Amino acid sequence: MDWLIEPFMPLMVNGLIFFYQLFGNSFVLSLALLTIIVRLLTLPLMLPMQKSARKQAAIQPQIQAIRKKYAKNSQKQNEELMKLYREAGINPMGGCLPMFIQLPIMWAFYQAIVRSLAFEPGRLLFGLGKYIASSAAFSTLVPLNSRFLWLNLATPDQTYILPILVGLTTWLQQKLTPSTATASGGDDQAQAMSQSMTLTMPIMFAFITINLASGLAVYFIISNLVGMAIQFFINRAMPALQPAASPAGRPSTKVKTTPASEPAQIGSQRKSRVKSTSKRKGKGKRRRK
């Protein structure tokens, strides 16, 4: 995976050490500032995901209706879903692609933290040395001061305080982030899964953090806090779309009669599409006659 993160590594490592020097050899302050910068720089990649999630939440009733209607014809189901996405202006990959584009940046940042806190000779030489061994300004700063409060940032936190904070902030951030399943009033299974994820992820993160260098745990906490702040502003600037009304459990033909009160552009687009489908069906019947 080195080839994927390598383009970002020199910038991340040098950035961390530059801010470390700027803040009087404080690794945590450097980490905090760089986290804010990275989160803000990746914001343009995050916004389409948020928009996509909101739009998807709004058309969940139609999605459900299509799924039920074409439960036994997956090809038709996919065609109809794609049509729906197109009309709603949703790129089905729109939510995933930005996330995958962000991955190398986040991995590089993660690796930069690990390598900067190197305390074994091999990791210092091959890890950090690779990026700063020729830098006269940064070489004198090595090894970086890894002390913060009671922590040695290069080793796990034995008090379990950081893992708990990681779990807590991950949970809070998730609660702030709208989920397509819960926002739309999706089916019970989806909601249950969504709720399960909301609990599982913080626990998983907290559990993994127990054995990680506490510098990484500090990074997770800062990243979650910054993420929460960003999410707060996004939620204010981008209010949730109302789900298009489509009574669950009704026969699929009922989709045709989506109420005129259905809000937003998405609803009206869907309505017109369903009408035309209805016309086509009618024509087909006449032909058969």
32 or 216: CB nearest another protein: 216
14 or 278: CB nearest another protein: 14
- As measured in angstroms, the least distance from the Cβ of 232 to another protein is 18
Q: Which two tokens stand for residue 87?
A: 């009309």
Helix H or strand E segment including 152: strand 151-152
203 or 276: CB nearest another protein: 203
Write the CB contacts of 182 (distance below 8 Å, at least 6 apart in sequence): 191, 194, 195
- As measured in angstroms, the least distance from the Cβ of 33 to another protein is 21
- As measured in angstroms, the least distance from the Cβ of 208 to another protein is 5
43 or 99: CB nearest another protein: 99
32 or 118: CB nearest another protein: 118
- As measured in angstroms, the least distance from the Cβ of 18 to another protein is 17
Nearest C-alpha neighbor of 256 from the set 13, 116, 69: 69
CA separation for the pair 190, 63 (Å, rounded):
13
Binding interface with another protein (CB under 8 A): 1-2, 49, 53, 56-57, 60, 63, 81, 92, 95-96, 99, 103, 106-107, 110-111, 114-115, 119-127, 129, 133-134, 136, 139-140, 142-143, 147, 150-152, 154-155, 158-159, 174, 177, 179-181, 184, 186, 190, 193-194, 197-198, 200-201, 204-205, 208, 211-212, 216
φ/ψ region of 149 (left if φ > 0, alpha if ψ in -120 to 50, else beta) reads left
